[in-house]
A and B are shown apart, each in its own frame.
Chain A
Amino acid sequence: DAGVTQSPTHLIKTRGQHVTLRCSPISGHKSVSWYQQVLGQGPQFIFQYYEKEERGRGNFPDRFSARQFPNYSSELNVNALLLGDSALYLCASSSGQSASGTETQYFGPGTRLLVL
């Protein structure tokens, strides 16, 4: 079975531009979470979506947005890019079906974004 897939793998943008990152969860998984990992730091939670609805949002500006599609894939959008947005963006999926939310998340390989 395929794991979590993300596209593109690498991306170079300039300041002020917009970027869209894509994530396909493991088949059967309905929850997708997004994390930002700046070089040398741990991942930081951005969003979680379940059944196309936002379930959680981290401490990120409104320039960051996301959505989930009927097939449970997801997009992360970042507007008005800043140099500080350069990072590895990780997507993780889980079944989302645990009442306690304690199911395991599986991470994709990430999209490395460089903002010049």
Chain B
Amino acid sequence: AQSVTQPDIHITVSEGASLELRCNYSYGATPYLFWYVQSPGQGLQLLLKYFSGDTLVQGIKGFEAEFKRSQSSFNLRKPSVHWSDAAEYFCAVGEGHNAGNMLTFGGGTRLMVKP
């Protein structure tokens, strides 16, 4: 069965600093990978997704992620964090023919931004 691990439960960074959130997955075939963000009281918003092709994926709000098959990782990065980026971030994997609609999520990483 597929699984997703986000090793960091909480991360605190200073505004303007760079950010990297880690995500490791376990899945036998080529995974479909997603990053979502959830602000307090809000639903999930898709930041970016990887299905195939270029392993460096650009998303909204200045985020990017890199798929590394050899490390089973899909880490999320941002060069300069803004206070409004404080939220919870979820990595997710989809499988098979219905990859986008039946996602397995990681436990999430809560990002706090210091002024």
Interface residues of chain B, those whose CB is within 8 Å of chain A, are: 4, 6, 32, 36, 41-46, 49, 51, 90, 92, 94, 96-108
The interface stretch among A14-22, A61-69, A71-79, A96-104 is A96-104
The interface of chain A, by Cβ under 8 A from chain B, is 4, 31, 33, 35, 41-45, 48, 50, 55-56, 58, 90, 92, 94, 96, 98, 100-110
Known: A33-B102, A43-B44, A110-B43. A101 touches B90 (CB 8 A): no
Give, as a whole number of angstroms, the nearest-CB distance from A35 to chain B: 8
> Of B4, B6, B46, B108, which is within 8 A of A105 by CB?
B46
Closest CB-CB distance, A1 to chain B, in whole Å? 16
Chain A contacts for B51, CB-based, 8 A: 100, 102
A44 contacts across to B, CB distance below 8 A? 105
Q: Which B residue's beta carbon lies closest to that of A47?
A: B102
What are 15 A-B residue pairs whose CB atoms fall within 8 Å in the complex? A4-B43, A35-B105, A41-B107, A42-B105, A43-B90, A43-B103, A44-B105, A48-B101, A92-B44, A101-B101, A103-B100, A103-B101, A104-B49, A106-B46, A109-B42
Minimum Cβ distance to chain A for residue B27 (Å) = 15
CB–CB A102/B32 < 8 A: yes
Given A102-B51, A105-B101, 18 further pairs, Cβ under 8 A: A41-B107, A41-B108, A42-B6, A42-B105, A42-B108, A43-B90, A43-B105, A44-B105, A55-B102, A58-B102, A92-B101, A94-B101, A98-B100, A101-B99, A104-B46, A104-B49, A105-B100, A107-B43
Please name the residue on chain B nearest to A9 by beta carbon: B41
> B100 touching A109 by the CB < 8 A rule?
no
Q: Which residue of B lies closest to A46 (CB)?
A: B102
Assuming the contacts A45-B102, A48-B102, asked whether A101 and B97 have C-beta atoms less than 8 A apart, the reply is yes
Are A55 and B101 in contact (CB-based, < 8 A)?
A: yes
